[in-house]
Amino acid sequence: AGAEERRACGCCSGMSWPCCCEAPGTKKKAACPGLGLFYTILSAFLFSVASLFLKKIEDVHSVEVSAFRCVFQMAFVLPGLIYYKTGFLGPKGKRIFLFFRGFLGSTAMVLLYYAYQVMPLADATVITFTSPVFTSLLAWIFLKEKYSLWDLLFTLFAITGVVLIARPPFLFGSHVTGIEGSYTNHLKGTIAAITSTLSAASTIVILRKVGKSVHYFLSIWYYAVIGLIGCVIALFVLNEWRLPHCGRDRVFLILIGLLGLGGQVFLTKALQIEKAGPVSIMRTMDVVFAFILQIIFLNHLPTWWTVGGALCVVASSSGTAIRKWRHSVKKANQREI
């Protein structure tokens, strides 16, 4: 009987069974159904509002906004690093991967913020949702993961959506309507958004390569530190460092940092209690929020080309997420058998 009392349970990390959640007579705490999806929607909303504030800021370069965001990330992560005693450099064999994760992740953030400033909010948001498609392609190239004909079809759908949003003159003529400012800025924003998406997809591939050998906080720490160093250097080179003249812009900068951090926290919480497939599909609500906020607060109606491109991109990203989800469920069932 004593040996039976001292046995460990896998669901409670080695606790003896009188304290175990599966002990006789112990009530198991029921998870709230749909809580993970609610966290995902809340995360998408916070990210969208942060993007709206970025559009409202005047005379502040996207690199400077990214620097403020990195400062908020560092302030949030530093207590976690001290608490979990992970150190600040990470395992020796993983530091090069962490460096590139930080460099590519911060580059993706700067380019995305630039795209938000020079092109319509909904257009930039839609382009970023091609990330799952490019992640599958890069994982096939560098990690030798499976890449099927369905993945190729979803990639073509995503490229079609980007073309509909960019509307290059050699396909759509010289008179392009429904853009903000000049077409040159629109094209620059499109290129920045695509490059940001490729950088973000490369970051995910690197994180898959590293796996669980590096703590999540350490990964964010590299992202924030390298991003801040790169932003400060870029600001001095571009001679763009300046504090906002308007008190409203200063408030917006603080809110962008807080909302971006909140979006990251709720997205992480969602992935902890919900499967990645439903979370990836529900994240497309970010596109819906971007369209709504753009219409209400920026008085910019999207064109039918943008709507068509959004449908193509959302279909491709959702299809990729569903396929990955079904594949992971199938593998889990095979392990149980």
Number of Cα atoms under 13 Å in the Cβ half of residue 184 = 0
DSSP 250-295: HHHHHHHHHHHHHHHHHHHHHHHHS-HHHHHHHTTHHHHHHHHHHH
- Contact (CB, 8 A) for 160 and 133: no
Per domain, the residue ranges of the chain are 46-175+182-326
Q: What pLDDT is recorded for position 135?
A: 83
Tokens of residue 201, six digits? 């997809």
- Contact (CB, 8 A) for 212 and 218: no
The CA R_g of the chain, rounded to the nearest whole Å, is: 22
Calculate the CA 43 to chain-centre distance: 10
Q: What pLDDT is recorded for position 45?
A: 93
Q: What pLDDT is recorded for position 175?
A: 66
Q: What pLDDT is recorded for position 315?
A: 85
* pLDDT per residue of the chain (337 residues) written in tens, 0 to 9: 344 333 334 444 344 334 444 444 444 444 566 787 888 889 889 989 999 998 888 778 888 888 888 888 888 888 888 888 877 887 787 888 889 988 998 899 899 989 988 888 888 888 988 888 888 888 888 878 788 888 888 888 888 888 888 777 766 666 666 676 678 888 888 999 999 999 988 888 887 777 767 777 788 888 889 999 999 898 888 887 777 666 788 888 888 888 888 887 788 778 667 776 677 777 888 888 989 998 898 888 888 888 888 888 888 888 877 777 777 777 777 776 6
Q: Cα dist. 163→80, 208, 313 in Å?
A: 42, 29, 11
Furthest-apart CA pair in the chain: how many Å?
84
Tokens of residue 271, six digits? 């992935």
* Whether this model's pTM surpasses 0.95: no
Q: Cα dist. 236→74, 109, 206, 222, 231 in Å?
A: 21, 18, 30, 21, 9
